[in-house]
């Protein structure tokens, strides 16, 4: 995400998957229909990613009513206890209940393996814990079923989180469903209160199969790819979407926006903009395709079949990332400077830094935001605009210098909750980007490129912490980097600004 204060019953179509996804059960070979369906969301050369892990699986049916705006639905989550501990409670985030969302999400019934279960909530109803009928043993698979209702605000981006809001023809419905909390080995369920600084959502990889009923004159945009579409006799539509392995499922309903599309390396890229400036669709599409092409080359291939960019009323921040979808503040499309381009590039880089390589955004936000900020520099280098790459770097230097001059420096490992007094952006974004420039200078261009590629290859669909990044960098350079990591990440020792 880029904040403003930063300077810079259904009839399905037939689907032939690119390849059959199978599993062996003794002497028999069994086709997994759930996994096979998900192949529609993947580039053909990345279908094998679907079977890398026994991913948790979400199946949802959702009914949208833009007049509210409100929605209702049911959700089934199949999960496997992949820890060494028994589960007696399963926790889910209810993000719309956070005050910054300005909405409401209520679970109206809950069952585990078909048995109704009691629940309790924490932190202003932003977490719900479901008590299991019996302990879920390590390796055991279980099924949670819930019904839920949600409502959201309208025209409220000046006072709340604009990604959960209906405004300017965009009903952005981020994090609208009960989302399984992470279980952290050695610690337990992640039941921390949500800090309203930086990104809200911290979640693990899963597969999604979502059927949505909505008025036919609203265009649905989601994470993943549409598998089926049907109009109904009452002026409605029913669409089914499936995903690859991803960290959450984003949903938007658009009315009146225009679109432009292109293909990059096997991925369909679509830009949606407001109708008063249709040329903006082509302009933002050109930026998005350039960024995707550059990052595919520099980081490793984006694995999904679609990537979509939406002009939206965010107001309090410039951009926001979700799997396969990025939101860009509407006012940037009317500027004549580089800020629209920088913001789109930053948010698309988050498809790697947050999307593929996950981290705890509520604990170590620098891991994705710092590298996404440095990706702005890499983007301009790769498209042949070195003077803008230098300008981006100089802007980060200036922000960090001002932070140090007022005595506000902090270790990169400081969680967002510890970065009050306007220090979040200077530390996480500016100092974070400068750390990666210092790393690049230290290990050299060849090793830095090897680090980026190796980091993505080894950590895709995982969640990493700072020491994992350090090991990846040391492996790339065959050198020891403890002093660099200590000075920048662990402590606030005075460092040379690169």
Among the listed residues 248, 308, 347, 463, the single catalytic one is: 347
Spatial CA neighbour of 413 closest among 379, 471, 364: 364
Among the listed residues 400, 429, 455, 461, the single catalytic one is: 429
**Which residues, listed in sequence order, are joined to residue 172 by a DSSP beta bridge?**
165, 252
CA separation, residue 329 to residues 69, 112, 162, 320 (Å): 21, 40, 9, 9
Token pair for 192: 């921390």
Cα gap 92→106, rounded to integer Å:
12
Cα gap 447→458, rounded to integer Å:
16
Task: Respond yes or no: is residue 322 known to be catalytic.
Answer: no
Contacts of 498 (CB under 8 A, 6+ apart): 434, 437, 438, 441
Other beta carbons within 10 Å of 317: 19
Q: Is 350 annotated as a binding residue?
A: yes
CA separation, residue 113 to residues 132, 134, 142, 179, 196 (Å): 9, 10, 6, 18, 34
Cβ(7)–Cβ(402) below 8 Å: no
Beta strand ranges found along 445-484 (DSSP E): 462-463
CA separation, residue 318 to residues 5, 228, 430 (Å): 9, 33, 16
Cα gap 275→285, rounded to integer Å:
15
Q: What angle do CA 302, 229, 323 make, to 5 degrees?
A: 25
Cα gap 143→463, rounded to integer Å:
23
Contacts of 276 (CB under 8 A, 6+ apart): none
Cis (ω within 30 of 0) for the bond into 168?
no
Task: Respond yes or no: is residue 429 known to be catalytic.
Answer: yes
Burial of 11 (0-12, 13-18, 19+ CB in 10 A): exposed
Q: Which residues are part of a known binding site for Zn(2+)?
A: 346, 350, 369
Catalytic center residues: 347, 429
């Amino acid at each position: 995400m880029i904040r403003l204060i930063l300077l810079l019953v259904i009839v399905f179509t037939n689907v032939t998957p690119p390849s059959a996804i199978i599993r062996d059960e003794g002497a028999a070979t069994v086709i997994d229909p759930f996994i096979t369906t998900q192949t529609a969301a993947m580039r053909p050369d990345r279908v094998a990613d679907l079977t890398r892990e026994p991913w948790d699986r979400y199946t949802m049916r959702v009914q949208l009513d833009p007049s509210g705006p409100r929605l209702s639905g049911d959700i089934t989550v199949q999960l496997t206890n992949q820890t060494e501990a028994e589960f007696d409670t399963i926790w889910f985030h209810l993000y719309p209940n956070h005050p910054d969302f300005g909405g409401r999400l209520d679970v109206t019934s809950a069952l585990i393996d078909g048995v109704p279960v009691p629940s309790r909530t924490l932190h202003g109803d932003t977490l719900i814990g479901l008590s299991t009928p019996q302990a879920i043993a390590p390796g055991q698979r279980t099924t949670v079923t819930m019904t839920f209702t949600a409502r959201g605000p309208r025209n409220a981006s000046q006072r709340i989180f604009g990604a959960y809001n209906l405004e300017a023809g965009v009903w952005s419905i981020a994090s609208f469903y009960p989302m399984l909390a992470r279980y952290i080995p050695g610690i337990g369920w992640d039941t921390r209160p949500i800090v309203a600084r930086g990104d809200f959502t911290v979640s693990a990889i899963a597969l999604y199969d979502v059927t949505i009923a909505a008025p036919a004159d609203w265009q649905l945009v989601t994470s993943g790819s549409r598998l089926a579409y049907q109009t109904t006799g009452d002026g409605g539509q029913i669409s089914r979407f499936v995903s690859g392995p991803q960290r959450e499922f984003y949903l938007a309903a658009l009315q009146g926006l225009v679109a432009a599309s292109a293909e990059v390396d096997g991925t369909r890229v679509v830009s949606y903009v407001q109708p008063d400036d249709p040329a903006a669709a082509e302009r933002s599409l050109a930026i998005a395709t350039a960024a995707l092409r550059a990052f595919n080359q520099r980081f490793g291939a984006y694995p999904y079949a679609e990537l979509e960019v939406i002009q939206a009323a965010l107001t309090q921040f410039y951009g926001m990332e979700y799997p396969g979808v990025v939101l860009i503040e509407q006012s940037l499309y009317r500027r004549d400077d580089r800020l629209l381009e920088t913001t789109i590039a930053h948010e698309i880089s988050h498809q790697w830094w947050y999307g593929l390589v996950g981290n705890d955004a509520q604990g170590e936000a620098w891991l994705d935001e710092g590298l996404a900020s440095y990706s702005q520099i890499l983007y301009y280098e790769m498209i042949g605009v070195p003077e803008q790459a230098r300008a981006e770097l100089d802007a980060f230097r200036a922000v960090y210098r001002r932070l140090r001059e007022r005595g506000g420096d902090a270790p990169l490992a400081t969680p967002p909750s510890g970065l009050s007094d306007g220090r979040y952006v200077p530390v996480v974004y500016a100092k974070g980007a400068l750390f990666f420039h210092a790393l690049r200078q230290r290990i050299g261009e060849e090793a830095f490129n090897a680090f980026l590629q190796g980091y993505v290859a080894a950590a895709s669909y995982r969640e990493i912490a700072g020491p994992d990044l350090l090991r990846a960098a040391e492996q790339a350079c065959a050198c020891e980097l403890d002093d660099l990591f200590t000075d920048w990440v662990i402590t606030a020792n005075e460092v040379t600004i690169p």
